[in-house]
Structures are given as structure tokens and as C-alpha cells.
Structure 1
Amino acid sequence: MSTPAQEQVFGRAPSGPTAARAEGLTKAYGSGETQVLALDSVDAEIARGRFTAIMGPSGSGKSTLMHCLAGLDNVTRGQVWIGEHEITSLNERELTRLRRDKVGFVFQSFNLLPTLTAGENITLPMDIAGRKPDQEWVDTVIDTLGLRDRLRHRPAQLSGGQQQRVACARALASRPELIFADEPTGNLDSRSGEEVLAFLRRAVDELHQTVVMVTHDPGAAARADLVLFLADGRIVDEMPNPTAEAVLDRMKRFDRIRET
């Protein structure tokens, strides 16, 4: 029998359009007795123009959910939409084009090309696609991130925080509908991490972007408008207007449940 948590659609905005949504999203690895369900019939909506954090214990499926919502991983069952585009029926070429045009990515490993300058890394996805950047928008992103005096530097000449800000600028440069950030502060010191989180918050508030962030850090999650909590491949709770203390308390409850 379905539990109430399974029947509820989590992440739904009070009003307004959704940037992404999933219905009955299931992701399984292996088969038969060795099959592992990473996601188990997840229903979720990501509200446009908001900052959503995804949290859960290790192995809960949070990164898998983000990868499926972003079209980086195939689903076993269910459907995923980015905007009005149902992506689970697209072939690889169509999916690649949609990700290029609609989605930006920020990973904790930065993924910058060491032979290119910061400026060249920022515009690289559009250069590969043969698209001319909207220079006014790119300038806005660069100045918002405080990168104007670092554009001619290569990644090795930048601090970790500066490299991650370049990665954020690259994700934003094409003005995507959605930005997915996978543990974006995981490789940063606390000061650099705060800078990146502050920018992601500003990207939503001032640049009207939509951000989905996977994190294990309650302080990082507190920057979001909404936190979705996963456990055992299901979204089991959500927290609007989170605080670090409330998120930490919710995560401790997961630990107590797993210990019993």
C-alpha cells in the first residue's frame, strides 16, 4: 500500500510554473536478487525561480535524483520534464541539445579546462554550440561574481573559490532554465563556500534563475527556499524557509531511525 509520502507531490510551488518535474521516477541498478532501487516511484516538482536543496543520508538517492532530473542519467521507469519538454522519451542527440540549451551544471570538481582562461571557460559551452553569447548578460554574470579581474587567468592561477565561481559563471552564461549544483561547496574552504552559496542565492533573487542543489551541509541548505529530504530512494519530507538548525535536527532524525 502506498504511504502518504509516496502519494504527495513534493516541491510543488504555491502558484506559478514548474521548471522540472518527475512522475513515478524509478531508477534501479542491477537485476533480480541483486537489484538496488536508487529511486522508488518519486513524484516531485521544482518551482521556477526558486532555490531548492536536496538532502538525505548517504545512499538516499539525492545525487541520482538530480542526475535524472537533469537528463544526465537514464530512468528505469517514470517520466521527467524540463519545462514543457518530456525528456525521458528523447534520444541521446535530442537530450544533449536540450541540456545544452536549457540546463547549466555546477559540480564540486569544477570541471574547468586548464589550458583555457577563465573567460574562455565561461563561454566554452556556447562556443562549442556555435552560439554567440549575449554579452550584456555575460557581463552581468561576470560582475555579479566579481570575476572581471580574473578573466585572463587560467584555472591553476585561481583559488578554489575563484575556480568554482568561474564554474558558476559558465553554468549561467547561456541563461539556462535550470541550474543544477552537485555539492558545489564540497571542495572549498568555508569562506569560499560562503561566496559560492551567496552567489547562487543572488542568481535566484537578482538574476531570476532556478537552482537545484544537492548538499549534505545544513548551512548550505539553509540558503534555499525549500529543502527536499530523501530516504531510501523516496522523498519523505520537505521544509520551506529552512534554517540550519531545523535542517540539522531533521537529519539527526534520519540517523536515529537508521540506528534503530
Structure 2
Amino acid sequence: MSVQAFDPIARTTNIIARARSLTKVYGSSDTVVTALDAVDVDFERGKFTAIMGPSGSGKSTLMHLLAGLDTATSGTVSVAGADVSGMNQRQLTKLRRTRLGFVFQSFNLIPTLTARENITLPLDIARVKVDEEHFSHVVNAVGLGGRLHHRPAELSGGQQQRVACARALVSKPDVIFADEPTGNLDSASGREVLMFLRKSVDDLGQSVVMVTHDPVAASYAHRVLFLADGRIVSELDSPTPESVLQVLAAISRADDHLPGE
């Protein structure tokens, strides 16, 4: 399979997140590292998008900039119509608390709180009343109905990550950002979490952007973006593990044939 050129303008559907000329540079003078190099990309509302690439390709940097967890050197980011790149820290904190959901490799649960208390924590912090109907819908979707009064230590790794997924969904975010969400899980638990994330998109209309290194995890997405050296070099719709591996191999071969390499 040849690596297809990436064209951010080709998609005209409803956009939930957008980056234009997005650049992130670390260091200075002789130690400059360009982690992200003038990236233009759109993410579709109500879709599950995976971001892949070799170590150091810029995939986590892209997600962190989109989610307002880091600041760009130059360029712009907008999420659900909000200009993330123009926000101060107070505005970013409010955005992350009220409009974005997060799922990380580490579950980030509070050990002294029950599953229910962990799920509703963002709403409690924001002093927003829990929508019990929506809460029940989310809890049923993740299959935690009988575990709400258990603390994290009483749950399996897969159950803890499903609590984290439910926590991300309960505030009805515009988009969920997931950073290697199955990295600490066995294959069966990881499959459960990925199936839930896909179900949240297909059944609840959620938008999900996930960074992963795993071709099987990426195959749960509607679309995969591939980064290399801080740039998006390819994309793949309706991925399978095999088609993802083929694109990764093509990118690797292209890198091997760069001038001077």
C-alpha cells in the first residue's frame, strides 16, 4: 500500500475541532526540536478518530495542543467553535472542565471515592447537578450498574478504565480526548474499553480523538491520521489492523529512503 497524501481541505462535514498552521517547538538555538510542524487538520463531529505514528512523531503533542493541555508556539486551535489558542489559563481550565472529556493511560481515579463519586467528580467540582437520566444511560453503557459503590481497589483494571470513560462522558462534553487509553490493560479489558468508546460515538453521538500506538486499537476508529516528524503524512478511513500496519510500514520505508539517511 502506498502512503496517500493528506488533504485537510477535502472534508466538508461538520467539524468539532480544527488546527491551522499548528506548530510546537521545544528548546532553543542548537537544541531546537520541532515536535509539530505547521499542521492543518480537521476532526469530524460524531466520529472516532485515531492518531498514530512512530515515537517522537508528534501525535501526543497534537492531542495536548487540541485539548488545551499545552500551548502552541504558533498557529491556531478551535474546539466546538471556541478559540482554544487564544484562551488564558482560567478560560482553558473552564473549557477542560465543562466542554472536554479526558481518558488517560493511567486511570486517575480517587482511591477513597466510590465508582459513582469518581464518575460525578467533574460535575461536583463544577457545582453542576447530575442529570440522573444521562448518568444512568452512561453507567449502563459501560456496564457498571452493579459496581457504583465499589472503590477503585475493588475493581479490575478494565472496570477502572470504564469508570474513567464514564467520568469523561457524564458532563456531556463536546469531544473526548483519549491518550493511550488501553496502554495499562490486558487485551480483553482493552477491547471492552475500545468497544465502549466506539459505542459512545455510534449510539450517543460523542466525538472521540484517541492517540494510540496499537493497530488493533486504531481499527475501532472511523478514521486514522498518521504523523511522522511532526507532520500528518497519511490518513485511512474504515481501518483494519492489517491496513493500519501496511500504512505504518510504508511510512517507515519512506523514512528509510530520505536523502542523507
Q: Calculate the TM-score normalised by the size of structure 2.
A: 0.94
Instruction: Identify the match of residue 112 of structure 1 among 99, 109, 113.
Output: 109
Q: Does 1:190 align with 2:187?
A: yes
Paired residue for 2:145, among 148, 152, 177?
Answer: 148
Q: Which residue does 1:32 correspond to in 2?
A: 29
Q: Tell me the secondary structure at the aligned position of residue 149 of structure 1.
A: coil
The alignment of Structure 1 onto Structure 2 pairs a total of residues equal to: 254
Q: Residue 83 of structure 1: CA displacement? A: 1.1
Contact 1:155 1:163 in 2 (8 A): yes
State the Cα distance separating 1:98 from its structure 2 match. Answer: 1.0
Match of 1:166 among 163, 166, 169: 163
Offset, 1:200: 0.5
The Cα of 1:121 is off from its aligned counterpart by 0.2
1:223 matched residue in structure 2: 220
> Where in structure 2 are the equivalents of 1:6-155 lying within 5 Å?
8-9=7-8, 13-15=11-13, 17-155=14-152
* CA–CA separation in structure 1 for the residues paired with 2:219 and 2:155: 28
The code of the aligned residue for 1:222 comes to S
Structure 2: any 5+ residue segments left out of the alignment? none
Contact 1:57 1:254 in 2 (8 A): no
Misfit runs of 4+, over 6 Å: none
| Distance in 1 between residues matched to 2:112 and 2:255, nearest whole Å | 46
Partners of 1:214 and 1:67 lie apart in 2 by 10
Query: Which residue of the other structure, out of 173, 177, 180, is the alignment partner of 2:174?
Result: 177
Whole-angstrom CA distance in 1 between matches of 2:90 and 2:53: 32
Contact 1:26 1:40 in 2 (8 A): yes
TM-score, normalising length from structure 1? 0.95
Question: Match of 1:21, SS?
Answer: strand
Q: 2:229 aligns with which of 212, 229, 232?
A: 232
Aligned partners of 1:117 and 1:155 also within 8 Å: yes
Give the C-alpha shift of residue 256 in structure 1.
2.7
- Give RMSD over aligned pairs: 1.4
Q: Deviations over 1:24-47 (max 9, x none)?
A: 000010011211000000000010
SS of 1:88's partner is helix
CA-to-aligned-CA distance 1:189-219 (integer Å, 9 cap, x gap): 0000000000001000001000000001111
2:221 is equivalent to residue 203 of structure 1: no
Give distance in 2, aligned partners of 1:187 and 1:95.
28
Structure 1: how far apart are the matches of 2:223 and 2:252? 21
Query: 1:213, 1:118 → 2: CA distance?
Result: 23
Q: Is the 8 A contact 1:181 1:214 kept in 2?
A: yes
CA distance in 2, matches of 1:253, 1:57: 12
Supply the distance in 2 between the matched residues of 1:178 and 1:116 (Cα, whole angstroms): 25
**Residue 120 of structure 1: SS of its match in structure 2?**
helix
Letter in 2 for 1:37: T
CA displacement 1:39-83 (0-9 Å, x = unmatched): 000000010000000000111000000000011101000000011
AA matched with 2:62: L
Shift of 1:5: 5.3
Q: Which runs of 5+ in 1 are unaligned?
A: none
2:241 to 234, 241, 244: 244
